[in-house]
Chains A and B, each alone.
Chain A
């Protein structure tokens, strides 16, 4: 068995093997001598078009057809080309077919031949025509470079977001480049160009062409081929003297230079991994040149096409789809004849064990100490095999070895490898036709890999694989279902209802499902009714609202926004509606939504006072209108018309049957008028803006008793309040005689405590004593204490039989008047003896009042 496996190997120098093996038997009906075949990387689809040059010569101007096949040779779709003449075909990293036309338009199509989008490579390309183009993997995705007939290069780094860059000119723009390729690293893309024998690097316009030299030992006159490796680290050159030169991308390091003995320009020239290049002269020779100067030639007898992969080259021909790659190190270690690696012994041990031979034990003993390495080697090597038999062989060996060691990591790795292989085998099946190697599979993230299945409409398989690989639902199943739904939406022959129901049935409320995405697709497919139906399933209000706005369903959006409670969303809808409706329609419309109206009112209050008021007018909200007017009246610019505005406020309140506020407004307007009159009459300022009380006080201070009395009458100032003001003014003027006269004029409605207080406040203790006897009984103790008349206070308290009050007095005079304090102690003693327990005054008072209720 080992022998059979190594039979495919081809030594290239010492310890360096390359192998070529079949992936698929192809049964497409293609004649490779008059077609152009372009395969996408990562086992992607293959586009085939009749070769332009040969075709045109033979058949004139009839329109060409593009055929798209899967990697296993199944026809997927055909495109009847009816646009401009095609310069170059290529595939993007998202497996879209890209076509560069001679007028500089780049068109893209999906696998099924559906037109996706297009962009132009600029005016110059359009006018002067494109003569050459190349696609490349950039740091941003898939890029494209075109060469115009005036020998200018134009570059786009990402075909999905085309941003056209002009590349600086070559040193001479008179002659065409003899060959060129694109070098792209993590930050920028440059072009390596050969013009005759000279080489140069071109960047964006800001820098000039940068000539560089390669150390080539030949007398060549022209470099006819340049190609960069998949990782952009290495470059290969082909000269018109038939030399292949390999070196680093900056041309500073030379790996080797080999004479191929072919002078003609090769039909294809690609890197195989990053250690060797393949040179193809169609129908004649396929030569492999390795970095170590070794080379070998494969016999071929038919036309073929090469596709450069990260870890090898795929060869497409009439009957076969093959893979050429360097034999992975671990595979060499296990299978090489006379290998002494532990994996090799383990494999043999496992084989003998299955035969039931005792020699199994002997082999096992040889690797006893290195069993772990042996298991790892067999396990890993299984991953690199396409043949199920070999996979099984290696896995069995790994499993056999594993049973002698205890290592959970080995167990995990083994299970992981089994899972991976199961997936790889499933997708390599010719029906799916995705021949990924283990390295490619690991390089593509799982998400991308699932997307590729989805692109091929392999939804069921994708979901099964996502579940099998235990991918979280949001990234796996849900996402695939959503993509399925997006596709479903595009099937315009189905009824809206049917599609919506089918989608909802299948997707339900699966976590992470975004109905918005699906609905957006529906809009793209001009099915807004379907989009609306789908949006009902969307749980996220924000997305719902934004989508409804996109559909211009502002009203439905408003309902959803209000339901969500998210006021910001309501604002968004309001702003949208305002733009799309006439103001009156809008105002009329949002009446039905009190919350939206309130938010709009709040917004208008800051931004647009006119609209603010007009809404209240529309609503006949007279109270709010009144409030608006009052605020207006206080604006500085309206100081002269304040009365008028207040009267209009009163008018609004009247309409709103709010008599209280109406009279308050009218009254204030009247007050303002009178204040102005007073100012004139008394020849002072400072009246306007005062309150009724303030005005009264000012008049009293000015001794305008008559005017004060008039004011008092007109504004129905109650006696109690009048007394407060009058006493305060007299106090301020320290007019004690007048105060005394006033106190005797009539019985004070507010008692005589305020008289005491005002005297004390102005330091007139003598005056205060005048009134203290007239203070009401409840307050007497308190006021005697206030005047520091402790003996009197105690006396009153005793007479009132109030022990609480007594102790209050005592606490106040305890330090200053020890004699009185002693007396009080005496009184308290008497009181307690003569009466039952007295309760705290506050509570007593309360209870007393309660009984009255």
Chain B
């Protein structure tokens, strides 16, 4: 579909980031893509090529934009050849929309699908890049993402081979698995001997604390404080070249950068040391150039480009780390973190917390306040009616009535709720050792280092499943207290398991945090049994983006 002459791509903006992970601009250029526009902005009449390709998700409002573009081009009597590529699938709803808008005839026969459900973020991380999936599932009760997920996992099988066995926890996870079974019936299993040994599907609903808790790994903090979009961050460039050159600098964060892959998963308090150490070795290597034989000299020169690269990335990450440290050392951050950790330890969770009250009083960012309330509600297994009503009233009084639906959505999602008689979180904290007091941050022995005290429940479950004797069967009681059904190691396809290394895919329905990914990587490195781990998720989330997705702020415009 990319053959045949010069062409212009008109993007659904939501796809630009994800697609750039697979096809960066220069690759598109090689395929004679001359110009690019975004669907939402202005007119495409300046496009020079005759071929126009719309690359879009199957969203009705995108169809409206496409129709507008086509109509306006027709009015101007521009002769164009249109093509629509749906990612990952077209829907009848969208086709009907195009028909109703009277442009279906213009694109009929030129509608294609690009069944790309997963985008690779990293060697070991793939994401559907659908940040709204969890909200759509819980608030709109629209399970489209479940279907996409099952389709995506099925495609994954076509590429990597069949899945040996499946474990899942939670309603959405079970649903994905059920659909996966159905698809297998329709398509048949891929005929390969080896593949994915174990697929673990986890519903975000079983652990709502991890996404709202502050992440304390390097990458997690960058995501929380700066925001990582499809592995890219954008920072004011004056930070990097001594105040000259205003504007923005885009940095790509992935494991191709050796230094970053070394420090991304570390607790932030260990990052400074790591950077210093690295700087010292590099300095020493530079020093070593004095007084050497010719041969040593040659080796040195050969290593020089690589050393320069490390030096560069050292400079970048030192700058980023300094920016982050400025925030993490500030009192507002420390105080808030302190309260968060108290909640995790079960301190003062059952009453109106003065710190939250004061935060509201000072009208700090509402997302921060909501996150704290969510953490309190979750760690207390729900708030007393009185406490909850008080918080809600305070928020409405201070931030305005327009936030009322946001509160209602958070309640529907279970992020804030009224306490029931049972208090499962206290039990879970103990049985799964979710809070570990003396976890060292710089030289950790437990995954709890990613939040300094708290080990994400999801990753703890993976640890039990894969490494602990008895697997999930040994902790059946615990699993029963979690929401939704459990599936434990159900055989799926016949495959040969290799002793050398096992491939495990952990799929998060509803998104996962960088801290969770770090915890899983840590887990695999810690244990002796060789496991190759791949994290799959509907999206990478953090407390801010996660909470914001549930917001529906009304306005009077």
Contacts and interface: CB of A to CB of B under 8 A. Distances in A.
Q: Do A and B come from one complex?
A: yes
Interface string B401-425: 1101100100000000000000000
A208 interface: no
Contact of B554 (A630, A725, A852): A630
A664 B392 contact: yes
B466 to A, nearest CB: 28
A539 interface: yes
A770 interface: no
A750 interface: yes
Interface string B499-511: 0000000000000
A602 B142 contact: yes
B92 A693 contact: no
A540 interface: yes
Interface string B135-150: 0000011111011001
Contact of B91 (A571, A690, A721, A725): A571
Interface in A561-576: 563-568, 571-572, 575
A540 B360 CA distance: 54
A541 to B, nearest CB: 7
Contact of B93 (A563, A568, A601, A724): A568
Nearest to B331: A782
A599 B142 contact: yes
Contacts of A667: 396
B342 interface: yes
Interface string A703-747: 000000000000101101101110000000000000000000000
A354 interface: no
A773 interface: no
A250 to B, nearest CB: 33
Contacts of B399: 691
A725 B348 CA distance: 26
Interface string B282-305: 000000000000000000000000
Given A664-B396, A691-B397, A721-B398, A567 B144 contact: yes
A691 B396 CA distance: 7
B142 A849 contact: no
Interface stretch (A196-204, A252-260, A631-639): A631-639
B345 interface: yes
Interface residues of A, number: 59
A543 to B, nearest CB: 10
B338 A595 contact: no
B175 interface: yes
B537 to A, nearest CB: 19
The main secondary structure of chain B at its interface with chain A is helix
Interface stretch (B104-112, B180-188, B312-320, B538-546): B180-188
B358 A750 contact: yes
A169 B92 CA distance: 47
B342 A631 contact: no
Interface in B159-215: 175, 178-179, 182, 185-186, 188
A691 B175 CA distance: 43
B93 A631 contact: no
A572 B92 contact: yes
Contact of B402 (A599, A634, A849): A634
Nearest to B175: A565
A511 interface: yes
Contact of B556 (A541, A566, A636, A718): A636
A540 B143 CA distance: 19
A565 B182 contact: yes
Interface string B199-236: 00000000000000000000000000000000000000
Interface in B87-102: 89, 91-93, 96
A540 B347 CA distance: 54
B384 to A, nearest CB: 13
A694 interface: yes
Contacts of B525: none
B430 interface: no
A842 B437 CA distance: 13
B333 to A, nearest CB: 12
A572 B58 CA distance: 15
B396 A660 contact: no
- Which of B141, B334, B346 has most chain A Cβ within 10 Å? B141
A14 interface: no
Indicate the member of A594, A595, A718, A782 with the most B CB atoms within 10 Å.
A718
A261 interface: no
A619 to B, nearest CB: 13
A594 B405 contact: no
A718 B402 CA distance: 21
A723 B60 CA distance: 49
B555 interface: yes
B342 A721 contact: no
A842 B408 CA distance: 35
Interface of B: 58, 60, 89, 91-93, 96, 140-144, 146-147, 150, 175, 178-179, 182, 185-186, 188, 331, 334, 338, 341-342, 345-348, 354, 357-358, 360-363, 388-389, 392-394, 396-402, 404-405, 408, 554-557
21 contacts: A539-B185, A540-B186, A541-B186, A564-B182, A565-B178, A568-B92, A598-B142, A601-B140, A603-B93, A627-B408, A630-B405, A631-B405, A634-B402, A636-B556, A664-B401, A671-B401, A689-B556, A692-B396, A721-B398, A724-B362, A852-B347
Interface of A: 511, 539-541, 563-568, 571-572, 575, 594-595, 598-599, 601-603, 606, 623, 627, 630-631, 634, 636, 639, 660-661, 664-665, 667-668, 671, 689-694, 715, 717-718, 720-721, 723-725, 750, 754, 782, 842, 845-846, 849-850, 852-853
Given A572-B92, A602-B140, A691-B398, 17 more contacts: A540-B186, A563-B182, A565-B150, A567-B143, A567-B144, A631-B554, A664-B392, A690-B400, A720-B354, A721-B357, A721-B360, A723-B361, A754-B362, A846-B342, A846-B345, A849-B347, A850-B347
